Structure 1
Amino acid sequence: MGRNLQSSERLRPVDLARGHGLSTQAIRNYEEAGILPAAARTPHGYRTYTSLHARALRAFLALVPGHGHRTATSIMRAVNEGAAEEAFRLIDESHVQLLDDRRTLQAVESALRDLAPTTTSGPDAAVSAPRGTFIGPLAEELGIRPATLRAWERAGLVRPRRDPLTGYRVYDDADVRDARLAHQLRRGGYLLERIAPLIAQVRAAGGLEPLEGALCDWHGRLSARGRAMLTGAAELEAYLSHERAADT
């Protein structure tokens, strides 16, 4: 059954654009990209849109914050091509990615909680002393082989300096901290390529304490994405319902 697009109020590109702070060219671009259904044309060749297009635009703009521009475009294109199952699959993939990001955040927080202070006065003092420690004692403390520490160094997880006289690796407090964090994440099943960016965040923050602010911000961004996905789902459902009504 074809859509009865002429049964609704006719809207110009500028009518759709104004309500969302967009340009008329953006509206035309969205139509060409398949985000909006194809517009009808007047005898003079001008595009005319309907409330169905307005709903499609609202759905797309609501999907972008939670799914990103590219995925939101693919979702809308699939819906407009009658491939709703593909649209739902794309939405499911975004939710899986969000869940994976939440688990990553939880793993980082767990690893940080499990980290012992890098400055101690007990048996670990030799490991965390300001002068640094060598690969053997650090590997023994972590319960790993020295070869593992060397592999972590190649992956950029630790960056020990070399003793100018002996050439031995020397791990300072920051290196010990990074090694402990890497150890916790590896125990959690994370691959080296996923750990490296997290270690880089710790270094950029200047340590673990400043990273707490970044983790709080990370929580906020994940929550915002989750809520945006809910909003996008509601607007997409409204569009699908409007679309079904237009098909009758």
Structure 2
Amino acid sequence: MTTAAAATATGYSVQQVRDLEALGVIPEAARSPNGYRHFSAQHVRSLRAYRDLAAAVGPVEARRAMRDIRLQPRAEAASLICGFHARLNAEREQALSARSALETINEEAATDVPPVEDDSMSITELSQALGVRSSTLRFWEKAGLVAPSRVATRSGTARRYTVTAIREARITAALRSGGYRIPDVQKAITAIRDLDDVSDSLIALDARLRSIAERTLALLRTGALLAEIIESSPAS
């Protein structure tokens, strides 16, 4: 089929089909003696697969994957696609964890129970409890995300994290693990400190979860096409 026919069959423009060929997303088209491209069902399949794959993992990763699965042995190509599923699932688990933490913090704030300041942790204890490095806690402190107290020691002073500071560290850890940038975390921490509703952060997490679901569905849609490409690849 001609370039125009391939574009019509896949919903791309003629120029996009040419660009995707040049980028290696689809195999190089055959050329007639007069130089015109001739595309096959294989090209149409690759173009359709790329559309959903790009929606699932982004165009840069999708372009690289479309090239690699034609060149790699079957097992490695299949593993590459499995990795995308695993990555999306990890993103979902992180977002769910962050949402759960936000809900917990919100519920704690709603009880209107004053923090018990006698309950505190050292920086080492808190880092172990959260599974982060002490240096990370110090960075969060510099960014204004966590505000530990200082207590006198024989050698000077040491950080002590009260219930309030522990709560801030928990929500920071949850949001950072969910992929949120420092400015976004600062917004959530400010809401907590003001004893305000964290609904904006919950809404953002819900939107992220919906986006992950749509990307997962796109990856599932393209799965059968990618399997056909892998199975028909000379490397297989």
TM-score, normalised via structure 1 length: 0.65
Residue of structure 2 in register with 1:166 after alignment: none
Please tell me whether residue 223 in structure 1 is matched to residue 210 in structure 2.
no
CA positional deviation for 1:90: 2.6
Please tell me whether residue 54 in structure 1 is matched to residue 41 in structure 2.
no
Please tell me whether residue 236 in structure 1 is matched to residue 226 in structure 2.
yes
Task: Judge conservation of contact 1:111–1:181 (CA < 8 Å) in 2.
Answer: no
Residue of structure 1 in register with 2:170 after alignment: 183
Distance of 1:34 and 1:82 partners within structure 2: 14
Equivalent AA in structure 1 for residue 142 of structure 2: R
Specify whether residues 121 and 210 from structure 1 end up closer, same or farther in structure 2 by C-alpha distance, changes over 3 A only: closer
CA positional deviation for 1:237: 2.2
Distance of 1:203 and 1:15 partners within structure 2: 54
Instruction: Structure 1: give runs of 5+ residues left out of the alignment.
Output: 1-10, 128-136, 161-175
Residue of structure 2 in register with 1:202 after alignment: 188
Q: Which of these two proteins has the greater Rg computed from alpha carbons? A: 1
Specify whether residues 198 and 144 from structure 1 end up closer, same or farther in structure 2 by C-alpha distance, changes over 3 A only: farther
Choose from 140, 144, 147 the match for 2:121: 144
Specify whether residues 145 and 119 from structure 1 end up closer, same or farther in structure 2 by C-alpha distance, changes over 3 A only: farther
Residue of structure 1 in register with 2:142 after alignment: 154
Specify whether residues 90 and 201 from structure 1 end up closer, same or farther in structure 2 by C-alpha distance, changes over 3 A only: farther
Equivalent AA in structure 1 for residue 101 of structure 2: A
Specify whether residues 204 and 157 from structure 1 end up closer, same or farther in structure 2 by C-alpha distance, changes over 3 A only: closer
The percent of aligned pairs where both chains have the same amino acid is 28
TM-score, normalised via structure 2 length: 0.68
CA positional deviation for 1:214: 1.9
* Equivalent position SS for 1:144: strand
Instruction: Structure 2: give runs of 5+ residues left out of the alignment.
Output: 127-136, 149-163
Task: Judge conservation of contact 2:78–2:230 (CA < 8 Å) in 1.
Answer: no
Task: Judge conservation of contact 1:112–1:181 (CA < 8 Å) in 2.
Answer: no
Specify whether residues 71 and 152 from structure 1 end up closer, same or farther in structure 2 by C-alpha distance, changes over 3 A only: closer
Paired residues, number: 202
CA positional deviation for 1:210: 2.4
Equivalent AA in structure 2 for residue 35 of structure 1: V
Equivalent AA in structure 1 for residue 199 of structure 2: E
| 1:98-153 Cα shifts (integer Å, max 9, x gaps) | 1221221122122123325436655x1xx5xxxxxxxxx86x55x22489776532
Choose from 59, 62, 65 the match for 2:55: 65
Specify whether residues 159 and 57 from structure 1 end up closer, same or farther in structure 2 by C-alpha distance, changes over 3 A only: same
Residue of structure 1 in register with 2:90 after alignment: 100
Residue of structure 2 in register with 1:37 after alignment: 27
CA positional deviation for 1:81: 2.7
Task: Judge conservation of contact 1:14–1:24 (CA < 8 Å) in 2.
Answer: yes
Equivalent AA in structure 2 for residue 144 of structure 1: M
Please tell me whether residue 17 in structure 1 is matched to residue 17 in structure 2.
no
